[in-house]
Structure 1
Amino acid sequence: MSDAAGPRVVVVGAGPAGIRAAEALVVGGLMPIVIDEGERAGGQIYRRPPQGFTRPPEALYGSEAAKAIALHQTFDSLAAAGSLLHHSRSSVIAIADGRLQVIGDAGARWVSYDRLILAAGAMDRIMPVPGWENAGVYGLGAMQIALKAQGAALGRRIVLAGSGPLLTLLAVQLLKAGGQIAAVLDTASMRQQFRGFSGLSARPLFALRGLMMRRRLAGLYHAGVQLDRIEVDERGPVALFWRDEAGRSQRTACDAVGMGWHLRAETRLADLAGCDFAYDETWRQWLPQADAMGRAGRGVYLAGDGLRILGADGAEVAGRLAAAACLKDLGLPAPDMAADKRRLARFGRFARGVAEAFPWPAETAAELPDETVVCRCEGVTAGELRRTVDFGGGEVNRVKSLGRAGMGRCQGRYCELAAAEIVAGSAGHACAAAAGRLRGQAPVRPAPIAALIQDAPADG
């Protein structure tokens, strides 16, 4: 990696937040380094298909096509002009002493920084359901990736289950692409969804668009359901058993299941960077702390869904704010961000409305049957978690060390939230916050042994 004159600022993530942060840094006279796991910039929400893919942006991004195109063109033009250094297909696996350990096509190396902007995004928030550990059960995000990147529907008769805006959005996207949806099962009741109305009214057009998409689902959509189990055979899912809002048992035949309860912030890198965390009761997640501009201390700035789940528009604003804070802290001219701070506050009110309308089903998670697999990576069941609490104490890191939940490939990203509810309930805690949070550890992604046992070259 080549160096540039002046302070070295590294942006991790090339989604909406990372792209706008990089753009603002370039305008401020810097040449940022952008590190991203994707082949091309865009992030998850504006993920781009391979070169030569024939589906137009309108088919991939719907009403957001113009925003996606603008972001893609902005980043591509900056990269082509040499205004930034873009390292695609690259993952940051560790942070220490002002350096990032990065693995990519060229192997492993250390990248130093003077300032670091983390725009790591978010991922599916999953609640285990008996049978979810089997092949053919995916996160909603995985299904959306397959649709956007390859034009493929993961299944011929699909059930989507969970809660949150992505549930409806993906269902409509699959239908438009010719996919067959058997049912859309939302664990949030309509009464619960109306409770978030005051917050959702902060972005009325966005909320109205969601209602219009819901109408397109007609009789496929069911609110206030209880998910019982996923029936499988040697080929994968056969049916999903559920109860409707009146408590009546239902069975929906399918060959694929997509699951997700809105999103959870991707916070592992913020943890390794030394950011402080606090438990957010609304989101029922531990979230990194930063000021209104994204400053998180130690030369680190946070932007986008890795800090707060504000959606793509909020991520763009947060990226600009973080870059402006970085420029100001470096003594460089920075634009007035008062208008963007007001916009971000409005997006925050909307996000709270989403959290209230589509809550994480904490009580359901805490009461999962003993035989339910909670940690897919290690095959740890809810009953095994409870038995570990009995002799290990009601703290998630202690439970992890004794029972291996969270020790697998995903490092607890999929099981941590449900496991915390189970641990808290079994230990008699009033809230999952009392069970603590899993500590981030390097490497945060699976890495070749060579990257861990050899001295990686440094770029200064």
Structure 2
Amino acid sequence: MTRVLIVGAGPAGIRAAEVLAGAGLCPTVVDEGARAGGQIYRRPPLGFGRTPEKLYGSEAGKARALHGRFDWLVAQGKVWHLPETSVLALRDGVAHVLGETRRQIPYDRLILATGATDRLAPVPGWQNAGVYSLGAAQIALKAQGVALGRQIVLAGTGPLLTLLAMQLRAAGAGLVAVLDTAPMRDQLRGGLAMAAARPVVALRGVSMRARLGNLYHAGVTLERIEADPDHGVQALHWRNARGQSHRTACDMAALGWHLRAETHLADLAGAEFDWCPSARQWLVRCDDMGRAGKDLYLAGDGQRLLGADGAELAGRLAAIALLRDLGRPAPAAYGLLRRRARMQRFANAMARAFPWPAEAVAALPDDTVICRCEGVTAGTLRATLPASGPEANRAKALSRVGMGRCQGRYCQLAGAEIIAADQGLAVPRAGRLRAQPPARPAPIGAWLSTPPEREAE
């Protein structure tokens, strides 16, 4: 039997597994979470008191259906699930994974449903204790019922900014400000196209925004995060759309500018990349069905940033493509492709409504830390460019930007903006950082012995 490995048990991975199981295959699903669901439908530990309605809001029904379907597939032996397991490397049809132990999983076909991570823009002072990403704050709230501060400021742009604000308020957290860097004119222009593509979703977003009232401010400029060495974050300094200065006291700040596709494993698997001007980041080159190379398929936000509904569609399409490539009967894809195209139009409009703050990042002061892992400043990166030239990997070698635990996941995009601006080039000319194994930090002891491979079925 064909051995299929799916990496990721979010909406895309679950729907891919469902289609393959329905065709008689038994895929292996590897996921870093303790329970399937992914980030948007992240499940709390067993016995957690908050209801799905509190955790997922209007998406509670979708979350229940997705969780229930995957649990049933695993219970029936139609899917082999490895939770709390990370894929460290991919080579010659073998995935090197780390859970309780390190093991090797051979595969014939690979579906990567690795999702996305927060896209972060450095702000002076963001390296201090008490500064988190929007995604981290949401994980703490969903998985542990914890608000990470008593006086909370959310800053950045994109749907997650508003969604997390509403979730924190519903939980009774002390939210004091929501600072959106997207100008209102951009939001209005992009919002019309968003409403044309997905009116219900757009209306839901407008409704949530309205309920934030005076907490919400559009078109702001983030100046710096004030912090005390002993007590962490103290305040966030910002200017409103009219240029007026403000100091908002807080003990926690969460930042995020929409999402960044998680493509590390796709790079290790040999995928090609293209610069996406609308998303302003490098995305994997693949067809509409998710084919990204020989025996390689992508699904979900790691392929295109289309949200949870789009991820479910992409998971089904990738599985259908795989079945067709095997010469097996497969469900029709036409209707799924039409829905996916509509979601792509929505995503393009959203990128226009909530733009990445490229100019602000390119003009960061020299003393701003851009690589939190290594403590590298914008000035250090700029100082390396006469020797490294405008190529991201050479600049990384000399400055150490991107050499930390995250391997450039959080600093690569900002670093490229700084390199391009300093050298007078378009951002794509700076290139992208090449992925290196292991894809996740791993203890040295995990590599001291060779684990047994999973036996072929």
If the TM-score is normalised by the length of the shorter chain, which range does it land in? over 0.9
| C-alpha spacing 1:199/1:93, structure 2 compared with 1 (3 Å) | farther
Per-residue deviation, 1:199: 3.1
- Deviation sequence 1:288-339 (CA, Å, 0-9, x none): 0111100111200000000110000000000000000001111111011100
RMSD of equivalent CA atoms: 0.8
How many angstroms apart in 1 are the aligned matches of 2:297 and 2:446?
26
Q: Which amino acid aligns with 1:283?
A: A
Q: Say whether residues 1:113 and 2:113 are aligned partners.
A: no
Per-residue deviation, 1:453: 4.3
Per-residue deviation, 1:457: 2.2
Q: Which amino acid aligns with 1:353?
A: A
Q: Say whether residues 1:169 and 2:154 are aligned partners.
A: no
- Deviation sequence 1:210-249 (CA, Å, 0-9, x none): 0000011000000000000000012111000000000011
2:19 aligned residue (19, 24, 32): 24
Equivalences for 1:8-407 in 2 at 5 Å?
8-105=3-100, 107-200=101-194, 201-233=196-228, 234-407=230-403
How many angstroms apart in 2 are the aligned matches of 1:449 and 1:197?
49
SS in structure 1 at match of 2:88: strand
How many angstroms apart in 2 are the aligned matches of 1:29 and 1:81?
12
TM-score scaled by length of structure 2: 0.98
The answer to whether the Cα contact below 8 Å between 1:275 and 1:297 also exists between their aligned partners in 2 is yes
- Deviation sequence 1:325-366 (CA, Å, 0-9, x none): 001111111011100000000000000011110010111110
Q: Which amino acid aligns with 1:406?
A: G
**Count of aligned residue pairs for this structure pair:** 453
The answer to whether the Cα contact below 8 Å between 1:134 and 1:236 also exists between their aligned partners in 2 is yes
- Deviation sequence 1:37-67 (CA, Å, 0-9, x none): 0000000000000000011000000000000
Q: Say whether residues 1:437 and 2:432 are aligned partners.
A: yes
How many angstroms apart in 2 are the aligned matches of 1:220 and 1:359?
21
- Structure 1 outlier segments of 4+, above 4 Å: none
Structure 1: any 5+ residue segments left out of the alignment? 1-5
Identity value in percent: 63
Per-residue deviation, 1:197: 2.8
Structure 2: any 5+ residue segments left out of the alignment? none
The answer to whether the Cα contact below 8 Å between 1:199 and 1:351 also exists between their aligned partners in 2 is no
TM-score scaled by length of structure 1: 0.98
The answer to whether the Cα contact below 8 Å between 2:235 and 2:249 also exists between their aligned partners in 1 is yes
Q: Say whether residues 1:449 and 2:444 are aligned partners.
A: yes
How many angstroms apart in 1 are the aligned matches of 2:447 and 2:188?
50
